[in-house]
């Protein structure tokens, strides 16, 4: 096992040299990272196929393309983000000027999950680099081919005192969390997020926690059902439902429920084929433990679409469960799989109250063209972020900070928010002696 105390000491020493604070050094590093992503594209595609059976088109779009877009955006804007910003000075401080200096924290620890093991590792790593930090990246042991590739890409091209990928099981994360980092960025479950926060608190280390939760999709009676069905199905069943912002359950007005489900069946067939089990590009569940957990949910409510599974291939087809109650096991925790439970409501207030009474979700999706309905939902329910008449695409915008609230997390990243997350903003008042 690598000596993590020695590793963090080396990174602290390298940071103190001041090299990472040079904006041109950061841009050169981001450019090299981009080149590595591009030159290893086929390796990334093969690794994700081996780990998750992820299709090439999805890997290019959601893993490689999104990360390259983030890096390019950072390179284009880094000089302006990192420049000191002059601000107003109160009249009581006549003769003084005020400005804010963007200062990197030092050494950052990034702990990444398995569901998007490239995107959710490299995107925050790029943010740490852009802000001028050294970093240690701990990828998930559940996607070993991808983790090994990330270690090869980073460790063979950057000095360990600057950037380092550390592979290993849960014990590795536990050992790393005992060390004194200047910032910790964690993506994963709420339960593990609490463990990370507790470990960080011992060193008073600031954290960003990108967690999960049961993200609802509300379909009101005035919704465009064709668009709603297509966009919910796409957001839910991409990556076999193993997406932190996937619609976790469907809240649909009773008047349009049957029509919506019928249209979702059409969308699933058009997207994945008549028999999804014969579609060799449909991603599989990450492990037997997760498969067994999901398999138990198939007995909840009434099976109206899908339900086939094959443990030997860790395969579960896109599934919709009707006549679900809030007490059913499938509604107790985040599903994180290709299973969509349906709950009906008659009045919008029922749906709103049900969501408000539960932990704050990471995402929320509303399908309605009525401004009054949109305003009521947005002004009443607290959630990390989301979309109106769409799903999941809010997290692909460089201009929208992405993160949770309450049980779904704290802090945000993407675009400038990634730079801001890994930056301490130092306030300075400068008084002249003239």
Q: What residues act catalytically?
A: 210, 244
Whole-number CA gyration radius for the chain: 23
Write phi, then psi, for 320 (nearest 5 degrees). -125, 130
- Structure tokens given for 31: 């450019």
- Structure tokens given for 20: 């990472």
Using CA atoms, how far apart are residues 237 and 181, in angstroms rounded to an integer? 37
Using CA atoms, how far apart are residues 141 and 194, in angstroms rounded to an integer? 20
Token pair 């103190």 is found at 16
Collapsing DSSP states into helix, strand and coil, what is residue 99? Answer: strand
Task: Tell me the CA distances in angstroms from 382 to 10, 18, 363, 375, 379, one per residue in order.
Answer: 42, 41, 9, 13, 8
Contacts by 409-413, CB closer than 8 A, 24 or more apart: 409/193, 409/208, 409/209, 409/210, 409/211, 409/362, 409/384, 410/207, 410/208, 410/209, 411/207, 411/208, 411/209, 411/210, 412/208, 413/123, 413/124, 413/127, 413/185, 413/208, 413/210
Decide: 65 and 41 in contact? Cβ < 8 Å.
no
- Structure tokens given for 433: 């002696």
Token pair 């928010």 is found at 417
């Amino acid at each position: 096992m690598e000596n993590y105390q020695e590793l963090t000491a080396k990174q602290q020493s390298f940071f103190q040299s001041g090299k990472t604070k040079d904006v041109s050094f950061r841009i050169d590093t981001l450019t090299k990272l981009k080149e590595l992503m591009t030159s290893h594209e086929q390796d990334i595609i093969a690794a994700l196929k081996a780990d998750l059976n992820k299709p090439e088109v999805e890997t290019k779009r959601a893993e490689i393309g999104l990360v390259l877009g983030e890096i390019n955006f950072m390179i284009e804007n880094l000089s302006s983000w990192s420049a000191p910003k002059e601000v107003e000075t109160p009249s009581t401080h006549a003769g003084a000027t005020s400005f804010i200096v963007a200062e990197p924290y030092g050494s950052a620890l990034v702990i990444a999950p398995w569901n998007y093991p490239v995107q959710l590792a490299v995107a925050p790593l790029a943010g740490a680099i852009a802000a001028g930090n050294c970093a240690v990246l701990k990828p998930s042991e559940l996607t070993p081919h991808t983790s090994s590739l990330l270690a090869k890409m980073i460790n063979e091209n950057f000095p360990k005192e600057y950037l380092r990928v550390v592979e290993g099981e849960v014990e590795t994360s536990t050992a790393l969390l005992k060390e004194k980092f200047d910032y910790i960025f964690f993506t994963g479950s709420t339960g593990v997020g609490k463990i990370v926060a507790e470990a960080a608190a011992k060193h008073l280390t600031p954290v960003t926690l990108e967690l999960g939760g049961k993200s609802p999709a509300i379909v009101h009676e005035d919704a465009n059902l064709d668009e709603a069905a297509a966009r919910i199905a796409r957001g839910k069943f991409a990556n076999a439902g193993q997406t932190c912002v996937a619609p976790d359950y469907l809240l649909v007005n009773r008047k349009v429920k049957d029509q919506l489900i019928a249209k979702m069946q059409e969308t699933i067939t058009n997207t994945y084929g008549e028999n999804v089990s014969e579609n060799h590009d449909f991603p599989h569940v990450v492990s037997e433990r997760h498969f067994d957990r999901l398999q138990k949910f198939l007995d909840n409510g009434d099976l109206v679409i899908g339900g086939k599974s094959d443990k030997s291939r860790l395969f579960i087809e896109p599934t919709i469960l009707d006549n679900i109650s809030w007490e059913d096991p499938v509604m107790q925790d985040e599903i994180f799989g290709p299973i969509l439970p349906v709950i009906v409501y008659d009045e919008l207030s029922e749906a709103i109250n049900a969501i408000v009474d539960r932990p704050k979700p990471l995402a929320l999706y509303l399908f309605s063209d009525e401004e009054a309905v949109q305003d009521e939902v947005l002004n009443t329910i607290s959630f990390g972020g989301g979309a109106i008449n769409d799903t999941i695409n809010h997290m692909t915008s460089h201009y929208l900070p992405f993160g949770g609230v309450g049980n779904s997390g704290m802090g945000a990243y993407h675009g400038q928010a990634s730079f801001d997350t890994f930056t301490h903003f130092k306030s300075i008042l400068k008084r002249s002696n003239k």
